[in-house]
C-alpha cells in the first residue's frame, strides 16, 4: 500500500549543545521526505523539552527517556506513530537504544560507531536479520556522490585489480587537552566509558577504514597498528597508524590523528589499481582525480553529464548542477534519503530500488567494531600482523 | 506577540524540471524554520498539482495560478495562511508576482533578477517601503560565510582603502546552442522576452557585480562594457567584459561568460586595498585568502574560532565545524533563514537582530537592474565610460 | 663549417645588485652551450671589473663601456671574439646597445622591452632584416614548455576558433612607494626616463600581451585601456586594465597590477575556443588544464610521453622527467638555448631547425612597443576603442 | 691561499641516455662556480668519447675508465687537475669509485644511495674522516629552500616537540614491467646486482627517510615495514610501507611506491609538533604550509623578505624573487654550490661558512644504507618493530 506522506522520525539525543544530533536533523529535512515528530533529546528532561519547543514539536511527543518514547509511540495508531528511530547519543548508548527500538519494531538510523564491542554489534546484526527491519548506520562519508563514482569505477573494473590503498584522516582539534576545559565533544570522546576502547581509531579511524572498504569492495584482513596517546593524561589514543592487508593481496596504509594542528577533517583516499589510480578528498568532495598510464590526469567533477552517464549512483546522490558545490550535509542527507526510501518500500511491502539501498547498515557496523578491536589488539601485540576476526 | 511555529511559505514556480525552485525548497527546509504549505508551481495546472502531490501538500492549497494563491491564502485566517511568497519563475514573471504579493500584504522572497527593467525595480522599491514588508532577493552568493568575513574585513578597515577589484564569473554550459535542443534552462535564459535585455550579464554578471558591491561596500559608478554573442543565432549576449569605476576612486574588472568550456560556476573575486588583498572562490567557498605586505599568505577557513572571533556574521551563517565543508545550499539557506527571522520579527512587531537583516533585498534588486541597463547601454556606446544611473 | 665549441657571450649590464643580468647568466649557463667571456657590466667601471672578477673572467675582456666592448671584441680574430651580445641594462639603454651591436655585426639577445618607442623598435627591425643577424628578445614566459603545448593545441585546431582570452599579471611589490626607499629595481622601473611611457603596462602588461598573442596566434587589434597610478607621487602607472579585440573576432580581457598585496608573479591565461578551453599559470608552470565539453577536465603535466607525443616543442624545451618540477630559470634557458642553436646555424651557414627558431625576436619587440603605446593612448582617450597601429 | 677560478669537476657516469648524470652537469653549471673538465662517462669508451665531444671537452681528458681518470688527473699539476670527482653511475659502482677517488685524494660528490651495504658505507665514512676530504651525497630534496625553512622552524622550536611525521613518495612509472621493454632507467633500478637489496625503498624510500630526519633533526630508531613486489617477475620491491619510531617518542608513517599510476614524484611531508604543523610538497616546492592552533593557515612562499628574515639558509639557497618559481634543478644546484664552497674552503685551508656545509654527506649515506637494510629485514620479520642499527 503506497503511502503518500513524509516518513516520521523519532530522535534520541541531539539536546542543547550537541553537534551530531543537529546534523541529523538538518540532513533529514533537506529533501522533504522525513519529518521529525518525536524525540528524547537529552538525559535531562527539562533540556529535552526545551529542545522540543525550539523544534516546534508537540510537547506530548517530547519524551523524558528513549524508553518512554518507544512505549508511547508504539501505542499510537500506525498512521500516526514514528516510522523510525534515529540514535545520536554518545557511543555507549547506541547499542541499547538501537536494540530496544528494533525490538519495539521500529526501523533505525544509528550514529557510528554502532556499539562499544563487536559482540554487541553481532547481536544487533542478528536482531536486524530476525526482525526484517531497515537499519542505517551513519558512515556519512560514503554518502558523497564522488565516493560512489569511485566505487563504481572499481566495480566496473576501470581501476583494475587493486594493489594499494592509502587512506588518512588527520584532525587537530584534540592537540591540546581540550577535554579538561569542559568542552562537551572532547569530554565524551576521550572517555572510554562513553566512547569504547578506541579514541582516535574509534572516532575517525573507522571512517577511514569504512571508506577504504566501500570504494575498493575489499575487506581488510590483517592489521599492524600503532596507537599513541600524545596528550598527557588522556585515557584513549589520539593517534593511529596502521599497515593493512586487504583481500586479494592488496596492501594499505591507514593513518588518523587528532593532534595534527590545523588539520580539520582531512579524510582522503588514494586507490592504486593495475589500470588506474583514484584520489578523493573529503574537504574538496566534488572532485575525483583519475590517473591512467600515459594519459593526462582526469578531474571528474560532480554534477556533470559524463558523471551521470557513468554512475547512476553518483547522479542519484547529487542535487544541483556542477560548479554549485555540494558538501558534508548533502552527503549526510544522501544516507537519510536512501534510508527513507528503503524504509518506505518496506512499509509498502515493495522491493526497494537497489540504488536506494546504497547506505551503510548493520554489516558496516560489525566491520567497524572488528576494526577497532583488531587495531587495539594489534597495537598491544609484538607480532607484526593481527588478523581481523570474522 | 511571539509566534512559536515555522513560517509558512507559498511558492510560485518550481514545477517539474525547474532548477531554482527546487533549490529554494531545499534551502528553505534546511534549518527547520520554514514550512512550504502552498504553491502555484507551474503554468500548467496539472503539473502544478503533480508537484504539490510530490511535495505532500494539501491539494486545496496547490493553485492553478499565483493570483488564485494570493486570493485564497489572503482569505485564510491569519494563523493559517502563508506568511510569505517565494518567487522562482522565469525572470519576466518576477515583477508582477512580487508586486501583487506585496499588494496583497505578503512578505516576498524573490529570485534574481528582481525585474526586467530598472523602472519596475524602482516601482517595487517604492512599494516595499510603502508597505513596510520584508523583501528578500536571492543573490545567494553573499550568503556564504566567508564572503561575510571578507565584507567585515573591509568594514573594519583591515583591507584599507580599496584600490582595485577583479571579479569573474565564467561558465561553459552555453558554449553551444543548447537552447535549440529544447533544454528548458537554456531556452528561457536566452530569450529576451523571458530574461530581459541581458543574457550572460543578466544571469551571472549581476551576481558578480552584487558580490563586488557587497564585499567592498562601494557602488559601481561607471562602466565600460563589451557584450558579445558568440553562439550564432542566439538573441542575447553570452559573454560580458567590463572595466569599472567604483566610489572612492577604486577601479575594477568584471568578466563573465557562458561560453568558457568546462568552467562551471567559477565566480571569484580579488579585492586589493591599501593594507591587504582578499581572494575568494565560489567553488571552494570555505576559504578566504588574505595577503598582507611582508607576511605569509593567510588562509582563513570557515568554522574556526578565529573566524567567529573576528566576524559575528561569518559565525552566525555557518552551521557545522571546520573541515566539514559547507556549500551552495547552505549559503542559499542563510539568506532564507535570515529572511525568515526578519519576517518573524516583523510579524511579532519586534526590531530584528541586525545580523538577521544581512540578506539582499529590494535595493540590491534596483542596483542589479541599473547594472544590466548600464552594461547594455555601454556596450552599444562608442564612449569609454557610461555612468550608472541612480 | 661546423663549430665544436660553446658560443661566446658578451654581456652588457648585470652589475652588482642587478636582478635580470644574473638571471641571464644563470640561464645561459644551464645547458652548457654558451660561455660568458666578456662584459661591460656596470656604468661604474670599478663595479664592472669587480663583477668580472667575481665571474672569473679575463680582466682584459671586462670593459668600461659597451662601446669599448664592441670595438675591442670586433678586433679579435673570429675564433676568439664574442659571438653575440646580451643586453640586460635598464630599458632606456636597450635600443642604442642593440643597434650598435647589430651594426658591429654581432647577434643580439635583448631584455624586454626592446626599446622605448615603436619608432626605435621598427628601426631595429629594419636593421635586423638588413644585417641578417639573429635577434632574441627575452619574453621569457613563452619559453615554458606547457605554453608551447598550449600554442600547439591552438595550432592543431584542438581548441577551435578562439572566442575569448583572459590574461592577468598581478604583482604586489610596488603597493607602497618602494622607489623612495632607494630600492634599485623599483627606482628605475618607476622612472619614465629609464622605463619609457608605461609603468606596470610596460614592465608586465607586455608579457601578458605577448603570452596571449603567442598562444592564440592572433594579434591584438584594438584596445580599451585604463591605466591608474595608485601610489601617490609615482610618475608611471602601477595598474593596467584592458578590454581587447583580437583578429578573427576574438575578445579579451587583460589586467596587470603592481599594487596587489601578496601577489608575486601571478601571470596566468585562459583561452576559450569553440572546441575547448585552456588554462595556464606561471607560478605552477608544469601544468596545462584542458577542458572540453562533456569530458572530465584534463591536467597535462610536463615531461610525460603524452605531452612529447603531442608537441615536439614542449618535449624539446623540457629537461627532466615529469614530477621533477621545472620553473622560471629553465624557461628562460629555453630561449637562450634555442637562440644559441639558431646563432650556431647562422655561423655555420646552415638552415636552423625550425623548432630552434621558436624564441621571441624583433617582431615581438615591435608588437610590445605598439601595445604599450596603444594602451597609453587609449587610457587618455574618451573613445572606447583605440586601434593598435601596424 | 685564495683561488680565483671555478672548481674543476671530473664526472664518472652520465653517458648517452643517462638521466642523473646530465642533471649533475646542469646543476653544477648553474651558479658558475664549477667547471666540468674531465670524465669517464660510459663503460663503453666510444660512448664516453662521444659524450666528451658533445660537452666540448678536451679529448685527452675524456677517459675510458674511472681508474684511468684518477691516475691521469693525479699526475697533472695541482692548478690543472680536477678538484673533485662526481659519481653518477648505477648504484653498484658508487662505492668503489668513491673509495678510489678519496684514496687518490679527491673530494667527492656521490649520487645516492652511497653504497650497496651499510658495511661499505661505514668504510667510506671512516675513509672520509681519515682523509679529511669533503664528501657530498646527492640527497637533492633537502636542497630546497623551503625544506631548509622547515628545518629551521623545528630548530628554533616554533614547531615544538615533534609528535608525528608522515612522509610519502609515490611514483607510477614502474606500474608495468617497464624493465622488460629495455628502458635503461627501469632495467638497472629493478636489478638487485646494480641497485642493491632495495627497489622502491632504496631508490625513493631513502629520500623520504632522509627528508624526515633532515627536517625533524630526529633519527628513525625503529621500523615496521612491508615491502611488496606488485609487478610479476620483478626481482625487487616496488612498494614500501613503514611505521616508524623516531628519537624522543615521535611516531611516523612512511610510504613510497612505484606502482601508483599517474603519480610522478610526489614526495611530501607533514610534521606535527606540540606547537605547530608543517606541510611541504616536492612538486610545489616554493610553498611551506604552517598551521598553528586557532590561527589561519600560513603559506610561506619562497623568496620573500619574511622568509629571509627567518631563515638564513632558506635565503641563501634561493636565487630569484618570489613568484618566479624555482624547482628541482635549483635545489640540486644548491647542494653543488654549497659543496663547492666547502671544497674551496678546504683547498684554501679556511674554515667554511657553516651555511655552506649544509649539504648531505657521508653520515647521511650511512643512515640511508641502515634504513634500507632495516626495512628489508623488518619486511621479512614477524616482529612488529625492528631497531635501526647504529
Q: Each residue's pLDDT tens digit in chain A (390 positions)?
A: 688 999 999 999 999 988 899 999 999 999 999 999 999 999 999 999 999 999 999 999 999 999 999 999 999 998 799 999 999 999 999 999 999 999 999 999 999 999 999 999 999 999 999 999 999 999 999 999 999 999 999 999 999 999 999 999 999 999 999 999 988 888 888 888 988 889 999 999 999 999 999 999 999 999 999 999 999 999 999 999 999 999 999 999 999 999 999 999 999 999 999 999 999 999 999 999 999 999 999 999 999 999 999 999 999 999 999 999 999 999 999 999 999 999 999 999 999 999 999 999 999 999 999 999 999 999 999 999 999 998
On whether residue C130 sits in a domain, the answer given is: yes
Q: Cβ(C10)–Cβ(C86) under 8 Å? A: yes
Collect all residues of chain B within an 8 Å Cβ-Cβ radius of residue A25. Answer: 32
Q: Could you tell me the three cell numbers for D292?
A: 598553528
On whether residue D285 sits in a domain, the answer given is: yes
CA triplet B6, B10, B12: central angle to 5 degrees? 150
Q: Are residues D153 and D280 part of one domain?
A: yes
Total structural domains within chain A: 2
Taking residue B57's Cβ as centre, other Cβ atoms within 10 Å add up to: 18
Collect all residues of chain D within an 8 Å Cβ-Cβ radius of residue B299. Answer: 296-299
How far is Cα B127 from Cα B91, in angstroms, rounded to an integer? 19
B48 closest CA partner among B71, B26, B19, B69: B69
Going from the C-alpha of C148 to that of each of A204, B202, C216, C307, the distances in angstroms are 46, 37, 11, 11
pLDDT tens digit sequence for B320-345: 999 999 999 999 999 999 999 999 99
Domain that holds residue B168: 151-328+368-380
Question: Residue A354 belongs to what H/E stretch?
Answer: none
User: Between residues 144 and 173 of chain A, which touch chain D (CB distance below 8 Å)?
Assistant: 163-164, 166, 168, 170, 172
- Pick the residue from chain D with its C-alpha nearest to A223: D384
Q: Are residues A192 and A128 part of one domain?
A: no
Q: Are residues C14 and C137 part of one domain?
A: yes
How far is Cα D147 from Cα B297, in angstroms, rounded to an integer? 18
Collect all residues of chain D within an 8 Å Cβ-Cβ radius of residue A293. Answer: 172, 175-176, 261-262
Q: Cβ(A271)–Cβ(A159) under 8 Å? A: yes
* Residue C195 contacts B where some CB pair is shorter than 8 Å: no
Which residues are bridge partners to A228 per DSSP? A239
Distance separating the N- and C-terminal Cα atoms of chain A: 39
C211 closest CA partner among C258, C268, C173: C268
How far is Cα A226 from Cα D253, in angstroms, rounded to an integer? 10
Q: Are residues D153 and D100 part of one domain?
A: no
Indicate the pLDDT class of residue B18, thresholds 50, 70 and 90. Answer: confident
Task: Please classify residue B176 by burial: count the beta carbons closer than 10 Å to its beta carbon, then call 0-12 exposed, 13-18 middle and 19+ buried.
Answer: middle
Strands A287-291 and D7-13: unpaired
Taking residue B188's Cβ as centre, other Cβ atoms within 10 Å add up to: 16
- Pick the residue from chain C with its C-alpha nearest to B275: C261
C386 closest CA partner among C254, C248, C243, C251: C243
On whether residue A118 sits in a domain, the answer given is: yes
Interval B340-354 mean pLDDT: 97
How far is Cα D162 from Cα D174, in angstroms, rounded to an integer? 34
How far is Cα D207 from Cα D365, in angstroms, rounded to an integer? 11
CA distance A109 to chain B (A): 19
Q: Are residues B241 and B120 part of one domain?
A: no
How far is Cα B325 from Cα A141, in angstroms, rounded to an integer? 12
Q: Are residues B179 and B298 part of one domain?
A: yes
Is the CB of D277 less than 8 angstroms away from the CB of A292?
Answer: no
Q: How far is CA B159 from the centre of its chain?
A: 25
pLDDT tens digit sequence for D177-220: 999 998 888 888 888 898 888 999 999 999 999 999 999 999 99
How far is Cα D34 from Cα D335, in angstroms, rounded to an integer? 12
On whether residue D252 sits in a domain, the answer given is: yes
Interval B88-98 mean pLDDT: 96
Interval D236-247 mean pLDDT: 98
Q: How far is CA B377 from the centre of its chain?
A: 23
Collect all residues of chain D within an 8 Å Cβ-Cβ radius of residue C143. Answer: none
Instruction: State the average pLDDT for chain B.
Output: 96
Q: Cβ(D24)–Cβ(D88) under 8 Å? A: yes
pLDDT tens digit sequence for D334-371: 999 999 999 999 999 999 999 999 999 999 999 999 99
Is the CB of D56 less than 8 angstroms away from the CB of C284?
Answer: no
C41 closest CA partner among C29, C20, C26, C31: C20
How many contacts does B have with D, using Cβ atoms within 8 A? Answer: 32
C278 closest CA partner among B261, B282, B168: B261
How far is Cα A28 from Cα A6, in angstroms, rounded to an integer? 11
On whether residue C389 sits in a domain, the answer given is: no
Q: Are residues B134 and B73 part of one domain?
A: yes
Task: Please classify residue A389 by burial: count the beta carbons closer than 10 Å to its beta carbon, then call 0-12 exposed, 13-18 middle and 19+ buried.
Answer: exposed
How far is Cα B84 from Cα B10, in angstroms, rounded to an integer? 6
Q: Cβ(A251)–Cβ(A162) under 8 Å? A: no
Collect all residues of chain D within an 8 Å Cβ-Cβ radius of residue A251. Answer: 226, 228, 239, 241
Strands D386-387 and D297-301: unpaired
Question: Residue B285 belongs to what H/E stretch?
Answer: none
Q: Are residues C231 and C127 part of one domain?
A: no
How far is Cα D7 from Cα A224, in angstroms, rounded to an integer? 51
pLDDT tens digit sequence for C206-263: 999 999 999 999 999 999 999 999 999 999 999 999 999 999 999 999 999 999 999 9
Strands B251-257 and B239-246: antiparallel
Peptide bond into D323 cis (omega under 30): no
Is the CB of B30 less than 8 angstroms away from the CB of A329?
Answer: yes
Kindly provide the b/e burial profile for residues C298-336, where b requires at least 16 CB atoms within 10 angstroms of the residue's own CB.
Answer: bbbbbbbeebbebbebbbbbbbbbbbbbbbbbbbbbbbb
Q: Are residues B105 and B241 part of one domain?
A: no
Return the residue matching grid coordinates 557496523.
A365
Q: Any idea what the CATH number is for the domain that residue A189 is in?
A: 3.30.360.10
Does the pLDDT at position C1 exceed 80?
no
Q: Cβ(D41)–Cβ(D47) under 8 Å? A: yes
pLDDT tens digit sequence for B25-34: 999 999 999 9
Phi and psi based region of residue C62 (left: phi greater than 0; alpha: psi -120 to 50; beta: remaining): beta
Q: Are residues A355 and A319 part of one domain?
A: no
Which residue of A277, A280, A296, A305 to mutate against C (max C Cβ within 10 Å)? A296
ipTM of the predicted structure? 0.96
Q: Cβ(A214)–Cβ(A246) under 8 Å? A: no
Q: Any idea what the CATH number is for the domain that residue B30 is in?
A: 3.40.50.720
Q: Cβ(D205)–Cβ(D372) under 8 Å? A: yes
CA distance D322 to chain C (A): 6
Q: Please, which residues have CB within 8 angstroms of residue A261's CB and are 6 or more apart in sequence?
A: A172, A175, D272, D273, D275, D276, D277, D291, D292, D293
pLDDT tens digit sequence for B225-235: 999 999 999 99
Strands B251-257 and B162-170: parallel
Look at the pTM and tell me if it is higher than 0.95.
yes
How far is Cα C137 from Cα C236, in angstroms, rounded to an integer? 24
Residues for chain C: how many in total?
Answer: 390
E strand spans, chain D: 7-13, 34-40, 84-88, 107-110, 135-137, 162-170, 220-228, 239-246, 251-257, 268-273, 277-281, 287-291, 297-301, 386-387
Q: Are residues A192 and A303 part of one domain?
A: yes
Q: What percent of chain D has pLDDT over 90?
A: 93
pLDDT tens digit sequence for C259-304: 999 999 999 999 999 999 999 999 999 999 999 999 999 999 999 9
DSSP summary character for residue D383: B
* Residue C384 contacts B where some CB pair is shorter than 8 Å: yes
Look at residue D235 in the predicted model and tell me its pLDDT: 94
Main-chain phi, psi angles of A226, to 5 degrees: -135, 110
Interval B340-364 mean pLDDT: 97
Q: Cβ(C371)–Cβ(C388) under 8 Å? A: yes
Q: Cβ(D3)–Cβ(D80) under 8 Å? A: no
- If you write DSSP's letter for every residue of A224-292 in order, what string do you get? EEEEE--STT-SS-SEEEEEEEEGGG-EEEEEEES--TT--S--EEEEEESS-EEEEETTSTTEEEEE-
Look at residue A78 in the predicted model and tell me its pLDDT: 85
For A7, the 3-state DSSP assignment is strand
Query: Measured on CA atoms in the order D209, D215, D216, D218, is the torsion positive or negative?
Result: positive
How far is Cα D6 from Cα C35, in angstroms, rounded to an integer? 13
Q: Which chains touch A (3 or more CB pairs under 8 A)?
A: B, C, D
Q: Are residues B290 and B255 part of one domain?
A: yes
Which residue of A297, A298, A307, A311 to mutate against C (max C Cβ within 10 Å)? A297
On whether residue B72 sits in a domain, the answer given is: yes
On whether residue D386 sits in a domain, the answer given is: no
On whether residue A328 sits in a domain, the answer given is: no
Q: Cβ(A358)–Cβ(A313) under 8 Å? A: yes
B224 closest CA partner among C389, C382, C370, C239: C382
Look at residue A60 in the predicted model and tell me its pLDDT: 97
CA triplet A140, A144, A147: central angle to 5 degrees? 110
Amino acid at each position: 500500500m503506497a503511502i503518500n506522506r513524509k516518513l516520521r522520525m523519532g530522535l534520541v539525543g541531539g539536546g542543547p549543545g550537541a553537534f551530531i544530533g543537529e546534523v541529523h536533523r538538518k540532513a533529514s529535512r533537506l529533501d522533504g521526505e522525513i519529518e521529525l515528530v518525536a524525540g528524547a533529546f537529552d538525559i535531562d528532561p527539562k533540556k529535552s523539552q526545551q529542545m522540543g519547543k525550539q523544534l516546534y514539536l508537540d510537547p506530548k511527543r517530547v519524551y523524558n527517556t528513549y524508553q518512554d518514547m518507544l512505549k508511547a509511540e508504539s501505542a499510537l495508531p500506525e498512521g500516526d506513530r514514528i516510522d523510525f528511530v534515529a540514535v545520536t547519543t554518545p557511543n555507549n548508548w547506541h547499542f541499547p537504544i538501537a536494540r530496544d527500538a528494533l525490538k519495539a519494531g521500529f526501523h533505525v538510523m544509528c550514529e557510528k560507531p554502532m556499539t562499544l564491542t563487536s559482540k554487541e554489534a553481532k547481536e544487533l546484526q542478528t536482531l536486524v536479520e530476525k526482525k526484517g527491519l531497515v537499519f542505517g548506520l551513519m558512515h556519512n562519508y560514503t554518502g558523497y556522490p564522488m565516493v560512489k563514482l569511485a566505487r563504481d569505477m572499481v566495480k566496473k573494473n576501470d581501476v583494475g585489480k587493486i594493489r594499494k590503498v592509502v587512506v588518512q584522516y588527520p584532525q587537530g582539534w584534540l592537540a591540546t587537552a581540550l577535554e579538561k576545559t569542559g568542552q562537551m565533544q572532547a569530554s565524551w570522546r576521550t572517555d572510554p566509558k562513553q566512547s569504547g576502547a578506541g579514541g582516535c581509531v574509534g572516532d575517525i579511524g573507522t571512517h577511514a577504514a569504512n571508506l577504504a572498504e566501500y570504494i575498493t569492495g575489499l575487506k581488510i584482513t590483517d592489521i599492524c597498528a600503532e596507537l599513541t596517546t600524545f596528550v598527557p593524561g588522556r585515557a584513549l589514543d589520539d593517534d593511529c597508524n596502521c599497515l593493512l592487508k586487504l583481500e586479494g593481496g592488496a596492501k594499505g596504509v591507514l593513518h588518523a590523528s587528532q593532534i595534527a594542528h590545523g588539520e580539520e577533517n582531512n579524510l582522503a583516499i588514494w586507490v592504486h589499481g593495475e589500470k588506474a589510480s583514484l584520489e578523493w578528498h573529503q574537504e574538496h568532495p566534488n572532485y575525483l582525480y583519475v590517473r591512467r598510464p600515459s594519459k593526462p590526469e582526469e578531474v571528474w567533477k560532480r554534477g556533470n553529464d559524463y558523471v551521470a552517464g557513468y554512475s547512476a549512483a553518483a547522479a542519484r546522490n547529487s542535487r544541483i548542477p556542477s560548479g554549485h558545490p555540494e558538501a558534508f550535509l548533502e552527503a549526510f542527507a544522501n544516507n537519510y534519503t536512501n534510508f527513507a526510501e528503503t524504509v518506505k518500500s518496506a512499509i509498502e511491502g515493495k522491493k526497494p530500488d537497489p540504488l536506494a539501498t546504497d547506505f551503510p547498515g548493520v554489516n558496516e557496523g560489525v566491520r567497524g567494531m572488528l576494526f577497532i578491536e583488531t587495531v587495539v589488539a594489534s597495537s598491544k601485540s609484538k607480532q607484526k600482523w593481527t588478523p581481523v576476526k570474522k
